[in-house]
Structure 1
Amino acid sequence: MTGVQLRRMPLLLREVRGNERLEPLVVQEERSNHVLWSCATAQDIWADNESFLQKAKWGETDFCSTCKEMQETLTVPQLELCACVLRQLWLRRNRWVFYDAFAAPRTLWLSAKSELEEFQQAQHSVTAQHEEQHVVRNIVKWRRPEGDWLKANWDAAFSESSRKMGGGCVVRNCDGEILVAAAWPRSFISNPLQAEALALERATDLCAELGFQKVIFKGDSLILVKDILCKEENMSWYGQLVEDLKPVFTNESSRRLQHGLGNQAAHVLAKLALQCNEEVVCLEEGPREIMNCIDHDKFVSLLI
């Protein structure tokens, strides 16, 4: 019986005698698809009156196959709700394992719907903010930095259909002359706020790589600027990006972060980046598409 895992039952009660062989306990690895789909407790969730998968096929398959079947049969709103239900299922499993608490199927569905509504409202707020900024951007004029400071205007463009972003950055001196203009694409982006954070991150890295000192970074994402300048730890879904950017502006007096809408040149670069396959960097000049913006900003800044 060496190496054999026995069932939990006193040997005395089982009346084990002589060389009688005991039935080994087979312990199977718990798979994610079992927890989220084929387990009896999970089936109770998907068979609830709130569910649109009551007639789905149950089976021990891999999770990717289950998700593929959902994508082929469900609408986009149903898939979004399914994603929230799957998350609530996993959280319920963890609460049961660690806290011995178990939620009813109806409670889980209500939590998933509430979670989805909160997410959609947050997405709507971010989209509305960007639409408002797009209207005001052309009205606000670019201002020259003072003394030996440089100004780096950064912006991001986001394509929801392709889940792709374009980032743009223009660094100018106090005379309005271009020191560097850069545009870069990124894939697998979930929303405009993430795109703005990644654009700022690349803009700070670019200035560090070129050895620029005393740089003012100015962008039109008020939410991002406030989150970075806030002293409290950011616990939101993109909090790690925010926490990575905070030391750049809190530990160095030569880096400043400001909110502003006079960044038309950076906005044009970000739009152009959506059509690029790789990063483009121009030193002491810029693409012809932004030169009208640069000349206009240089002239108008003399009048301010």
Structure 2
Amino acid sequence: MGNNSEALAYQRLAGAVFGSLCGDALGMPVEGWPPDQIKEVHGRLDSMRPGRLPKGSYTDDSQMMLSVLETLVKHKKIEPQDLARRFAENFEPERGYGGRTYDALNRLRNGADWRSISSDSWANGAAMRVGVVGAFFAGHFDEIKKAALAQCRVTHTHPLAQAGACAQALAVGLACDLGAKGEKPQTDIVTAYLAEQIEDISPEAADRLLALPDTQGLTEEECQDALWAEYEMNLRTMEAVCPALGAFLWADSFKDAVVMAVSLGGDTDTIGAMAGAMAGAYHGLDAIPKAWLDDLEQGPKGFAYFEKLCREALI
């Protein structure tokens, strides 16, 4: 990079991108499993495993995040028509798309106007892909919220989906700022800020954030129990965003945040990707285990392509 500030920006942006990829790939083989089954089969799931896709593969979460990153690199903002086109071009159904998103992208591929595909879904599809927005616009929270909503509206019109996407993007933006300053995020401060930012979109979503238990200082088992007592770990947006945030706030390292997120069970690839984006933005790319990065898939739009986009995003 050209100078120290650019190098630091790359650490945060690439940290969020590859953190999300790693969380997605780590959670992929146990998606839909309850936590007891994960523990029985894998113990502490802290290394990449094969599942419905080969070891280190990303799912629909990261494939849609890729499209968001591509349009940010091209336009330096969210350009909805371009984003929709990229969603359609990158669409590989075997990655595991949810029903409504699958139908919407299939219609796009068959020539539908992008303005006709959005649905009134409260699911977490728009939040799972948005972490890169928080890192791309780090330090500019109005821009983060604006871009998070713009990318959400391409596929999701429900207030819960929109509020969740904003909360996730803003959490990653906060993680960038606090990590750069070397400041530890505090649960009450973070949740109060995020809730304030999304209350105008969905009071219900803001309430779910404010219900987040303070996981800091708990043991691993206590953290799991506290998050399970409050959230469902499912496709409903805030039931994924909130536990991902709890896992991030609990952990002192990138690895522990993502392992905790995946160990919660349920929508593991999504919760892992969300926590990975936050933790990667906070701790930086260099904090991600090398073994995890080495295991990520290669290919035309694999590891090297994501790395290229992260560098181009800062030009």
TM-score normalized by the length of structure 2: 0.23
TM-score normalized by the length of structure 1: 0.24
* Larger RCO: 1 or 2 (CA < 8 Å, sep 6+): 2
Structure richer in helix, relative to its length: 2
* Higher Rg: 1
Structure richer in strand, relative to its length: 1
